[in-house]
Structures are given as C-alpha cells and as structure tokens.
C-alpha cells in the first residue's frame, strides 16, 4: 500500500489527473454542467416563443395547422414508400420462375405484414 502511495506521488500531474478522470467514468462534470445549462437555455427560449405565440392567436392557429400538414405529409411519404416497397417485391416476383413464385409470394407477404404492423405500432 505504501509503495502504491509513493508511486502515486512520483507520477506526473497529467497521469494523476488521467487516473482520477478514468475512475470517475460517467461523471464528466463539465459535460453535465454544459448539458444542464443548454437545457435551461432551451427552456427559457421555449417559454419566450410560447409567450409570443400566445400573444398572437392567429399565428398560433396557423402554426398548428402547418404542423398538422407536416405530420400528414410525413404519413403520406411513409405510405408512398411502403407502396414502392410492395411494387418492388411484386416486380421481383415476376422475375422468379413460376414454381418458386407462389412460395416466395407468401413469404414476402408475411414479412411485409410483420413490418407494416411494426411501423403502425410505432406510430
């Protein structure tokens, strides 16, 4: 134990600081402090924006409508991507010999059904 203490005192300061930092691991105080300050600043900005929106009801209604349109557009985009996936699968099936087509068709339909169900569950 005493030898360990003596070797600690003979280490350069950088090594000691490095050892202490590595022992603390997840406790990066500077990062936590900066993150907390960022969150506080974000909260203040949100309060300011909400206050301004509350003062202008027409702008608030317009913003809500725009957000609704954006969500709708994203849903349409997702639906279009799913349709493209389906079309790609059907195209692939047309290139497969007839004897394999039926089996693969069922397998792909099952897979797509699972994937679509997961996407819908996440929404």
Cα 96 to chain centroid distance, Å, stands at 37
Task: Dig out the tokens for 84 from the structure.
Answer: 């493209």
Check residue 112 and give its pLDDT: 86
Torsion angle, alpha carbons of 77, 78, 79, 80, to 10: 50
Average pLDDT, the chain: 83
- The tens digit of pLDDT for each residue in 102-123 reads 887 788 788 888 888 888 888 7
Supply the DSSP symbol for 28. Answer: -
14-28, 62-76, 93-107, 109-123: least confident range = 14-28
Check residue 123 and give its pLDDT: 79
Range ranked top by mean pLDDT from 17-31, 43-57, 95-109: 43-57
Domain segments of the chain as ranges: 65-123
Check residue 6 and give its pLDDT: 46
- The tens digit of pLDDT for each residue in 33-54 reads 889 999 999 999 999 999 999 9
Instruction: Note the pTM of the prediction, 2 decimals.
Output: 0.46
Check residue 101 and give its pLDDT: 78
Task: Pick the closest to residue 85 from 53, 61, 106, 109 (CA basis).
Answer: 109
């Amino acid at each position: 134990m005493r030898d360990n203490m003596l070797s600690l005192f003979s280490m350069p300061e950088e090594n000691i600081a490095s050892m202490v930092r590595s022992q603390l691991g997840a406790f990066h105080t500077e990062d936590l402090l900066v993150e907390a300050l960022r969150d506080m600043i974000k909260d203040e900005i949100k309060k300011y924006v909400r206050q301004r929106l509350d003062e202008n009801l027409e702008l608030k209604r317009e913003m809500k409508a725009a957000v609704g349109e954006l969500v709708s557009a994203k849903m349409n985009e997702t639906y279009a991507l799913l349709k493209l996936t389906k079309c790609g699968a059907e195209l692939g099936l047309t290139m497969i010999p007839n004897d394999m087509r039926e089996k693969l068709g069922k397998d792909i339909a099952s897979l797509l059904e699972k994937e679509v169900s997961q996407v819908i569950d996440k929404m």
